[in-house]
Amino acid sequence: MTDKALTQVSSNEPGLRRHRHGEGFRYLDAEGRPVSAADRERIDALAIPPAWTHVWICPDPSGHLQATGVDDKGRKQYIYHDEWRDSQDSAKFTRLEAFGQALPGLREALQADLSRPGLGRDKVVAAIVRIMERTFVRIGSKRYADDNGSYGVATIKDDHVDVTSRSLRLSFPGKGGKEHEVTLDDPRVAAVVKACQELPGERLFEYRDAEGAVREVGSADINRYLRETMDGPFSAKDFRTWAATTLMLDRLLDRDPPDDEKEGMAVVREALDEVADELEHTPAVCKKSYIHPVVPAAYLDGSLWERVKEAPAVPGLWPEERKTLALMASYAR
């Protein structure tokens, strides 16, 4: 690709097109002419799946979006520029410290909203957020529930949960068809879940609007709640990033400082495997997209313990979370 600044583009703009040609493909520009050798090399590097149809390819090597297509399940898919993906991961990690600082305020809001009378939207959303922040379960999407039968906490059905007066157990097929089972001891959340089960409809998390009509909770409701209560550009995915980073820090603090780089890398890999297993990700995905890079870096250079030894007693954060916040703050100084 190129080192020039990325350009914001849209797949609605004219682009390069892929057409079947014998056992392979040929690529034409918006005027119907064969693409250049340089464009063909770039297209080959994108590795666009052969099964995709309605393929659009950005004519600009510096476009932030490089290709789109429709997969064999009818879903539109996207391939982004490597630098764009890296910048998005970087931005996510940059806001992680702010996320940790905003958690105590969120938890206060959850307590207040879970104590509300009735079964309004904010009360039901608060129950979902409490489950996410205590169990690290994915939020889920209606599309994946409808197309694949895979669920997250926002899309589970009534029969995916067993609830008592004090606790609940969720059992459901998640991403990739893997069975998930999570438990939570929280009487207020249990009461909300039990009330939701009594509403009509298959979806568990529904609420009554001001007119008394039953509405489903969507991911937009959850992300709106997070932005408003945390006063920042946060989303449900930030919980898993925060959880993975905190779990990784906790695992490494339990180990001895490494004697050399080889030993340190082995310890980091072992801890990474444990965290990935708990969050049900691959180690590679966990490392790239969910664990803040300062955690393994501080362990490998031996500064981890010094950086977290004076973690402030922040009300509303667990001890492990205070250390996570202290570590990130130490790099900002």
CA 183 to chain centre: 20
Report yes or no: 286 and 271 within 8 Å, Cβ to Cβ. no
Q: What pLDDT sits at residue 2?
A: 38
> What are the b/e assignments for 152-165, b being 16+ CB within 10 Å?
bbbbbebebbebee
Could you read off the pLDDT tens digit of each residue along the chain, which spans 333 residues?
333 578 878 888 899 999 998 888 999 999 999 999 999 999 998 889 899 999 999 999 999 889 999 988 887 788 888 877 766 666 667 789 999 999 999 999 999 999 999 999 999 999 999 999 999 998 888 877 877 788 999 999 999 999 999 999 999 988 777 888 999 999 999 999 999 999 998 899 999 999 999 999 988 899 999 999 998 888 888 999 999 999 999 999 999 999 888 999 999 999 999 999 998 889 999 998 899 988 999 999 888 999 998 888 899 999 999 999 999 888 765
Interatomic CA distance for residues 327 and 309, integer angstroms: 9
**CB 35: neighbour CB atoms within 10 A?**
19
Instruction: Kindly list the domain boundaries of the chain, sorted by start residue.
Output: 16-86, 102-230, 237-332
Q: What pLDDT sits at residue 1?
A: 39
Q: Which CATH class is domain 237-332?
A: mainly alpha
Q: What pLDDT sits at residue 173?
A: 87
- The set of residues, in sequence order, having a beta carbon less than 8 Å from that of 16 and lying 6+ positions away, is 27, 28, 29, 30, 35, 39, 43, 56, 57, 58, 59
Homologous superfamily, domain 102-230: Topoisomerase I; Chain A, domain 3 (3.90.15.10)
Report yes or no: 4 and 62 within 8 Å, Cβ to Cβ. yes
Q: What pLDDT sits at residue 167?
A: 96
CATH fold for domain 16-86: Viral Topoisomerase I (3.30.66)
Indicate the pairing of strand 167-173 with strand 161-163: antiparallel
Q: What pLDDT sits at residue 73?
A: 80
Interatomic CA distance for residues 247 and 229, integer angstroms: 24
- The set of residues, in sequence order, having a beta carbon less than 8 Å from that of 17 and lying 6+ positions away, is 27, 28, 29, 30, 55, 56, 57
Q: Is this structure's pTM higher than 0.95?
A: no
Q: What pLDDT sits at residue 3?
A: 39
